[in-house]
Structure 1
Amino acid sequence: MHLDSRLAQIGTRKDEGTGAVSYPVYHATAYRHPALGESTGYDYARTANPTRDVLEEAIAALEGGDAGFACSSGMAAIQTVMGLFSRGDHLVVSLDLYGGTYRLFEQVLARYGLSFSYVDMRDLSAVRRAIRPQTKALFVETPTNPLLQVADLRALAAAARRHGLILIVDNTLMTPYLQRPLALGADIVIHSATKYLGGHNDVLAGLIVTKGEELTEKMRFLHNSIGAVLAPQDAWLLMRGMKTLALRMERHQSNAEALAGALAEHPLVEQVFYPAFDPEAAAVQSSQAAGFGGMISFRVKDAGLVAPFLRSLRLISFAESLGGVESLITYPATQTHADLPEERRRSMGICDRLLRLSVGIEHPKDLIEDVNQALARAERIVRGGGTGGVRNPASSQRQ
């Protein structure tokens, strides 16, 4: 069955008792036992919940894994996976990494004795050099956030196998509709399901998918023990969002390509980051995924344009997050990547002229028109020596 059909049919045949097409939400936290030593399969909501089970089975099937685990957020999913490791263990991690993941690694997990080396995963020789006797895993984003760099997952999987490492892939930006890392040799896939899987900016969730019996049982233990599980109402909302993932991803992609092309030709834009525009990245991406996704980043030529540009947008919202039907734009230097030291940010290319745009499903001409009018107004304000009443984006909250 095609992935489109499997997405649309999530949960439709799971409630045999009533035949409900939309699987019910089970809010119960406790379940009666039929007798001593007997169970219905449900004992306590942290361990298992019928609504959450349907979601977890769905994501495991979509990713081609052995089991799925639904968590209360994307960061909770990463924290749960990190429970696999012990004091003294070392991980090699993507250099261009979401700032919240970096914060968790360096400000929380480092205090418990884990260590991390940040490497450009496109450079396999650099990855090999970073591996130590204490290294236990590779943690990879591809495409990365926010510069959309593409790493070769098959090559990284081969390197992981050669050194006896676990390959963990954050597949948030691609989703299983476009990319299935487990089929390419990964061991664990993580999603911030708040993003494209939910798709409507109305549910906070994280998902983990594992491959292999031993790893799956370890993750099942950690999921229950740590307890950062997804609530049943949120599990239902996430399933509802996932039913339209195929349709949404196609529109996200086509809109992103159109908007990236318009930005690349704009005289106030210095550089556009979109995998389809980089021949090397496009070749790797085309070999391992079914598309380039709905995210773009770009640098304006003058940092002074950023604040008035953000203020002047009428359709696109200046807001955190990504992957929803509404287009959202963020300023990584002071928002998503604020917790990275400035020197590291700049060395990665996250400068004060960089903007990240999650392209929604609006009409592409409206998106292009909005960006063009906002850039034109920002230029007039800068030339006039004003700010347009714009609050400094540096005052935004870190996420």
Structure 2
Amino acid sequence: MSSKIPADAKMATRAVHAGLDPDPTYGSIIPPIHQTSTFVQPSPGEYVGDFDYARSGNPTRAALEKALGQLEGGLATTFSSGLAGEHALITAVAGTGGHVVLPNDLYGGTYRLVDSVFSRWGLQYDLVDQRDLDATVAKIRPETSVVWVESPTNPLLNVVDVPALIERVRARAKEVGASLIVVVDNTFATPINQRPLEWGADAVVHSTTKYLGGHSDVVGGAVVVREKALHAAVRHVQNSVGAIPGPFDCFLLHRGLRTLHLRVAQHTKNGEAVSAFLRTVDGVTDVRWPGFGGMVSFQHPGALGITTATNIFSLAESLGGVESLIEVPAAMTHQSVAGSDAAVPADLVRLSCGVEDPDDLVADLRQAIAANAG
């Protein structure tokens, strides 16, 4: 952590100051954007810092990675997208004949990556409701390489007892002789609400596009791990494949981190208000809100019409930005899971409540649902 941040600093202080060491050249409080492809070497094989070529590293990227590591409590590698990070992590630990345990409610891109890309190279997988700890650990076998956890899940917002699951997974892995890692997708929760590495997870992944960036203006991803060996393995895959974020993307993401705690607080206020309202509306069923953040889901027969009748909620994929979004996952973000055990209901609506006034969000949903009540 930066020398100016106390070791026991609270998350709000960390979010503001993480990775912000003053520039040594001019003392600028914000790290500069190093828009370069290569770095001059004083002599052959001698680098300034750790930087020789921008695919392998960049000072702007390094500042962001330091910040993310400080927030999650581990060693961070940033990527051009969340899926690029997931690809690197799975590639680093799983091979032909390996096996992955996935939640049966999960981000459609993760399912597509495993089902249509990794499975071609002999990686097997099982889907399971991870709220059922017995059912989850029963899926672990000697060749299991990864237990992949989402909590809250996407898009049904199921909450998993992650600490208890990790404990059970460790015991089962020892029993069957599996050498595996536990990965937690922390995109929905953010380190403001949970830090899975402190519970014993081996890795945390993020789509930094979402809450961490927070402004719907950049695409990125991150993998944060506890152990140096896994960190080195992930970075080796990244350097070999090349899925790196650009310096300006890293600058924008680092800027977003500095208001993360403030934004999450308002997202939470709005998620609570919207979910409370929805539970009072005739025709609305299965309202879900995990108790923090701005993600809310519900079911309604007029789902498609509702999503095109809102004014403040924009019909768009993604989530976690300051503006509110609405979507029908079955027709949008989760088309790739159609027909599988991870398929989602056709009448499911997913909301990403932004940071607007909660009364305005409720009023917008009220009129949109009323217009599709029949």
2:209 match: 194
Tell me the C-alpha RMSD between the 2 structures: 1.2
1:334 aligns with 2:331: yes
Match of 2:370 among 368, 376, 381: 376
1:11 Cα shift?
4.1
1:306 aligns with 2:303: yes
The count of aligned residue pairs is 358
Match of 2:96 among 65, 79, 87: 87
| Secondary structure class of the residue paired with 2:160 | coil
- 1:49-96 alpha-carbon deviations (Å, 9 max, x no partner): 00000000110111011x210100011111111112110000111110
Match of 1:212 among 219, 222, 227: 227
1:8 Cα shift?
1.2
Match of 1:357 among 351, 361, 366: 351
Amino acid in the other structure paired with 1:156: L
Separation (CA, whole Å) in 1 of partners of 2:109 and 2:207: 11
Amino acid in the other structure paired with 1:125: D
| Secondary structure class of the residue paired with 2:251 | helix
1:25 match: 33
1:323 match: 320
Range with greater deviation from structure 2 (306-315 or 116-125): 306-315
1:240 aligns with 2:255: yes
1:160 Cα shift?
3.1
1:225 Cα shift?
1.4
Separation (CA, whole Å) in 1 of partners of 2:37 and 2:120: 34
Q: Is the 8 A contact 2:127 2:342 kept in 1?
A: no
1:15 aligns with 2:17: no
1:262 Cα shift?
0.1
1:38 match: 46
Q: State percent identity of aligned pairs.
A: 43
| Secondary structure class of the residue paired with 2:335 | coil
Q: Is the 8 A contact 1:76 1:206 kept in 2?
A: yes
Amino acid in the other structure paired with 1:224: N
1:107 aligns with 2:116: yes
| Secondary structure class of the residue paired with 1:342 | coil
Q: Give the 4+ runs in structure 1 shifted more than 6 A.
A: none
1:127 Cα shift?
1.2
| Secondary structure class of the residue paired with 1:339 | helix
1:57 aligns with 2:66: yes
1:341 Cα shift?
2.9
Amino acid in the other structure paired with 1:213: K
| Secondary structure class of the residue paired with 1:69 | strand
- 1:19-61 alpha-carbon deviations (Å, 9 max, x no partner): 1112100011111110133211210001010000000011011
1:289 match: none
Amino acid in the other structure paired with 2:220: A
Separation (CA, whole Å) in 1 of partners of 2:166 and 2:342: 27
Amino acid in the other structure paired with 1:240: R
| Secondary structure class of the residue paired with 1:214 | helix
2:86 match: 78
Gapped regions of structure 2 (runs ≥ 5) = 1-8, 174-178
1:168 aligns with 2:194: no
Q: Is the 8 A contact 2:149 2:183 kept in 1?
A: yes
1:149 match: 158
| Secondary structure class of the residue paired with 1:176 | helix
1:345 Cα shift?
4.7
Q: Is the 8 A contact 1:90 1:137 kept in 2?
A: yes
Q: Is the 8 A contact 2:163 2:200 kept in 1?
A: yes
Separation (CA, whole Å) in 1 of partners of 2:225 and 2:168: 19
Q: Is the 8 A contact 2:157 2:290 kept in 1?
A: yes
TM (normalized to structure 1)?
Answer: 0.87
Separation (CA, whole Å) in 2 of partners of 1:74 and 1:341: 21
| Secondary structure class of the residue paired with 2:341 | helix
1:275 Cα shift?
2.4
Q: Is the 8 A contact 1:345 1:351 kept in 2?
A: no
1:137 Cα shift?
1.5
Separation (CA, whole Å) in 2 of partners of 1:128 and 1:255: 36
Amino acid in the other structure paired with 1:293: G
Q: Is the 8 A contact 2:327 2:349 kept in 1?
A: yes
